[in-house]
A and B are shown apart, each in its own frame.
Chain A
């Protein structure tokens, strides 16, 4: 350090007290020189009086007073002692006394010089410690602000922006660059407060440093506008990566303590970034979960497990969506000229299928209200619903299988129109269960009235089961599919149970078969069993 020595107030007071003692002891003047330049001097009153009078007189009187010969032209030059002051650096300081000499005075001045040197050293130590303390206090305040800033922001972008200003003031840098990248993409470089320090070369160099993820200081650079820089990578969760670059320190160069502080802050910021990321993920997940729960509740309310009573039938219906919501549905239409029920399966899964399913359900309800031709009641209802939904099915690139069934208690005839739905199982009381094939294409496939129409008799103990492919396309741990044969065997073995018991057995059989393998399809069914009307 080669600073210009400045006489501060405390030093001046100290020199004054030393000087006054010397003047009392008879000195003409006392002073302090740095590198040959007098920075402090005090003169005795008598000396000042003499100086204001004629110089020759002054000299003579002085010579007389101390008994020296007249031959010397300047007493001050003759009678003078000085002593070196150690200032602890390259400064060359001297205390001097004019108008006195002798060994005693010299010793006393040497003691003063030693003591003055020591106090100067202490003073400069104290000054630098206070400077450091002030600096540390500034840093602590900024760190506090930084942590407050971070806590206020729970989103990445605002957090990032608010950090910029605080960090720049903490490191006294002219500019701050940020590099942000995601995955293997090359990082985006931004500069604050403006782009004036950036050029192609520096960007390329920074991108390399960003890859290496090492915090570093450069106090000399080859870049035109960059004198020094501090590079600080943040350790954020993959695939994101971010780095801060402080450029051109305003008061000197970046130091190791700067780097350590930066690393410390970097760790704090990284932790906060991760916290923010995690918070966002959890928030999004919770939002999705809440929406899905709501959708599921709505859907479950649309599918009542207690169907309306239909005379001559024992009915049970249930739906278990594999995910939160699904495309399976059923609906009972008891007010039509004949009691009817519909079961359907919209292709696809999740929310799109669920939305289309609610529309389809409504279109069946509307169709049942307007169709009263008993000759082909179910076909009319199915054609109506298909016509009103065909455009929507095409637009969203989906289709649905569905079966509409109507029961006439008088004739015990169960008529049905099956738009591509399977499996539909018929099991007469004395016979074996069989699959009833569809008699028309799935809904949304053909824009024409092509619904077929068939009927069976449903006497007491006859079974008519409609379920979705979740009861057939179920896989076990060995990769085997449950399939139609197992399903028919199962129905045969439980045919004597009530509708509800049969449904429960079917769900249990599927669960047992799939074992630990998770079902990935909705399972929906309507079990219909003929019962004696009088006994019911």
Chain B
């Protein structure tokens, strides 16, 4: 099962500059996995992200919606406090499955 998870590592300021490329990558990855007949499960390592704005959130929202369309989902892990606060304030901590460690986030795909 673990072999069918795609992992994305983000770092620094996750804003409009990074968001566009990330959005494209997420969409293509989901379609590729779906084309190979596997669930589009995506793991996003947020541990190096120091800041996220609405464009960054938007890319992740597009990612999770796309993954869900194709029978998978998107898990986030390792959120720094500043980023965690943004997720809480925007209620997105309830829309995204968020985990502390990579191990937890990976295992959660099986449950």
Contacts and interface: CB of A to CB of B under 8 A. Distances in A.
A354 interface: no
In the complex, the 9 A-B pairs of residues with the closest C-beta atoms, listed nearest first: A438-B91, A420-B90, A347-B58, A422-B89, A441-B95, A347-B54, A397-B62, A420-B91, A441-B91
Contact of B54 (A345, A419, A446): A345
Contact of B88 (A349, A437, A446): A437
A244 interface: no
Interface in A444-468: 444-446, 452
A442 B86 CA distance: 12
B95 A347 contact: no
A517 to B, nearest CB: 15
Given A397-B23, A399-B61, A445 B92 contact: yes
A53 to B, nearest CB: 113
Residue of A421, A440, A442, A446 contacting most chain B CB atoms (<10 Å): A442
Contacts of A445: 61, 65, 92, 95
Interface centre among A394, A420, A473 (most CB of B within 10 A): A420
Interface in A117-154: none
Contacts of B86: 422
A446 B23 CA distance: 18
Contacts of A401: 54, 90
Given A399-B58, A421-B90, 9 more contacts: A401-B90, A418-B91, A422-B90, A423-B89, A438-B89, A439-B91, A441-B94, A442-B95, A452-B91
B38 interface: no
Nearest to A419: B91
Contact of B89 (A345, A347, A399, A435): A435
Given A397-B23, A469-B54, A441 B88 contact: no
B55 to A, nearest CB: 6
23 contacts: A347-B54, A347-B55, A348-B54, A348-B55, A397-B62, A398-B58, A399-B57, A401-B90, A420-B89, A420-B92, A421-B90, A422-B89, A437-B88, A437-B89, A441-B90, A441-B95, A442-B57, A442-B61, A442-B92, A442-B95, A445-B61, A445-B92, A452-B91
Contacts of B23: 397
A448 B53 CA distance: 24
Contacts of A398: 58
Contacts of B54: 345, 347-348, 401, 469
Interface of B: 16, 23, 51, 53-55, 57-58, 61-62, 65, 86, 88-92, 94-95
B20 to A, nearest CB: 10
Interface centre among A349, A441, A444 (most CB of B within 10 A): A441
Interface string A407-444: 00000000000111111000000000001011111101
B86 to A, nearest CB: 8
Interface string A80-106: 000000000000000000000000000
Contacts of B51: 481
Interface residues of A, number: 29
Nearest to A446: B95
B90 A438 contact: yes
A348 B90 CA distance: 16
Contacts of A345: 54
A441 B53 contact: no
B52 to A, nearest CB: 10
B9 to A, nearest CB: 22
A440 B91 CA distance: 6
A401 B55 CA distance: 12
Contacts of A399: 57-58, 61
Q: Which residue among A345, A397, A423, A444 has the maximum number of chain B CB atoms within 10 Å of its CB?
A: A397
B67 to A, nearest CB: 13
Contacts of A419: 91
Nearest to B88: A437
A184 B28 CA distance: 30
Contacts of A452: 91
A441 B89 CA distance: 10
A440 B93 CA distance: 10
Nearest to A442: B90
B50 to A, nearest CB: 10
A469 B57 CA distance: 13
B44 to A, nearest CB: 16
